[in-house]
Amino acid sequence: MKNLTVVGVGHVGLVTGACFADLGNRVVALDTDQDRIAGLQRGELPIYEPGLEELVGRNLEAGRLRFTTSYAESVAEAEFVFIAVGTPGGAEGEADLKHIRQAAESIAQAMIAPLIIVNKSTVPVGTGDWLADIVRSHQRVSIPFSVVSNPEFLREGAAISDFMQPARTVLGSTDPRAAEKVAQLHLPLRAPIMITDLRTAEMIKYASNAFLATKISFINEIANICEALGADVKEVATGMGYDPRITPHFLEAGLGYGGSCFPKDVKALAYMAAEKGRHPQLLQAVMEINDDRRALLVDKTREMLGSLRGKLIGLLGLAFKPNTDDLREAPALEVAQLFSSEGARLRAYDPVAMDRAAELFPEIQMASDPYSLAADCDAIVVCTEWNEFIQLDLQRFHDQMRQPVIIDGRNIYDPKQMARLGFRYAGFGQGYGPDGMPLSEPEPARHEERSL
Which residues belong to the active site?
A: 261
Q: Residue 6: which of 127, 130, 126, 150 has the closest Cα?
A: 150
Nearest residue (CB) to ligand UDX, 356 versus 424:
356
Question: Which of 33, 50, 102, 250 contacts ligand UDX by CB under 6 A?
Answer: 250
218 sits near ligand UDX (criterion: CB under 6 A): no
Nearest residue (CB) to ligand UDX, 239 versus 310:
239
Nearest residue (CB) to ligand UDX, 157 versus 404:
157
Interface characters, 94-133, with ligand UDX (x: CB under 6 A) = ----------------------------------------
Nearest residue (CB) to ligand UDX, 22 versus 152:
152
Question: Which of 58, 155, 199, 328 contacts ligand UDX by CB under 6 A?
Answer: 155
Instruction: Point out which span in 102-110, 182-190, 250-258, 343-351 binds ligand UDX (CB under 6 A).
Output: 250-258
Give the strand pairing for 169-173 and 145-149: antiparallel
Sign of CA dihedral 109, 111, 116, 117: negative
86 sits near ligand UDX (criterion: CB under 6 A): no
The amino acid at residue 353 is: A
Which backbone phi and psi does 40 adopt, to 5 degrees? -65, -35
Q: Which residues pair with 117 in a beta bridge?
A: 81, 147
Question: Which of 18, 110, 261, 394 contacts ligand UDX by CB under 6 A?
Answer: 261
154 sits near ligand UDX (criterion: CB under 6 A): yes
DSSP code of 323? T
Contacts of 28 (CB under 8 A, 6+ apart): 3, 4, 5, 6, 65, 66, 67, 68, 73, 74, 77, 78
Edge-first strand order for the sheet with 193-196 is: 65-68, 26-30, 3-7, 80-83, 115-119, 145-149, 169-173, 193-196
User: Helix, strand, or coil here: 370?
Assistant: helix
Question: Which of 10, 17, 93, 259 contacts ligand UDX by CB under 6 A?
Answer: 259
254 sits near ligand UDX (criterion: CB under 6 A): yes
Instruction: Point out which span in 110-118, 152-160, 417-425, 435-443 binds ligand UDX (CB under 6 A).
Output: 152-160
350 sits near ligand UDX (criterion: CB under 6 A): no
257 sits near ligand UDX (criterion: CB under 6 A): yes
Question: Minimum distance between the CB of residue 7 and ligand UDX, rounded to whole angstroms?
Answer: 18
Nearest residue (CB) to ligand UDX, 67 versus 386:
386
26 sits near ligand UDX (criterion: CB under 6 A): no
Question: Which of 20, 262, 339, 413 contacts ligand UDX by CB under 6 A?
Answer: 262
How many residues touch ligand UDX (CB under 6 A)? 20
328 sits near ligand UDX (criterion: CB under 6 A): no
Contacts of 109 (CB under 8 A, 6+ apart): 71, 138, 139, 140
Question: Minimum distance between the CB of residue 317 and ligand UDX, rounded to whole angstroms?
Answer: 10
206 sits near ligand UDX (criterion: CB under 6 A): no
Q: Which residues pair with 408 in a beta bridge?
A: 382
**Rounded Cα–Cα distance for residues 245 and 230 (Å):** 26
* Integer angstrom CA distances of residue 58 from 12, 13, 53, 54, 114: 18, 17, 9, 6, 31
Question: Which of 6, 55, 135, 251 contacts ligand UDX by CB under 6 A?
Answer: 251
71 sits near ligand UDX (criterion: CB under 6 A): no
Interface characters, 286-325, with ligand UDX (x: CB under 6 A) = ----------------------------------xx----
**Max CA-CA distance within the chain?**
80
Nearest residue (CB) to ligand UDX, 287 versus 305:
287
**Rounded Cα–Cα distance for residues 126 and 360 (Å):** 36
Sign of CA dihedral 196, 198, 200, 204: positive
Question: Minimum distance between the CB of residue 259 and ligand UDX, rounded to whole angstroms?
Answer: 4
Q: Which residues pair with 366 in a beta bridge?
A: 348
Nearest residue (CB) to ligand UDX, 88 versus 343:
88
Contacts of 72 (CB under 8 A, 6+ apart): 110
C-alpha 411: how far from its chain's center? 19
415 sits near ligand UDX (criterion: CB under 6 A): no
258 sits near ligand UDX (criterion: CB under 6 A): yes
Nearest residue (CB) to ligand UDX, 107 versus 315:
315
332 sits near ligand UDX (criterion: CB under 6 A): no
Helix, strand, coil shares, percent, the chain, to 5: 45, 15, 40
Nearest residue (CB) to ligand UDX, 103 versus 412:
412
Element (H, E) at 66: strand 65-68
The binding site for ligand UDX (CB under 6 A) comprises: 152-156, 209, 212, 216, 250-252, 254, 256-259, 261-262, 320-321
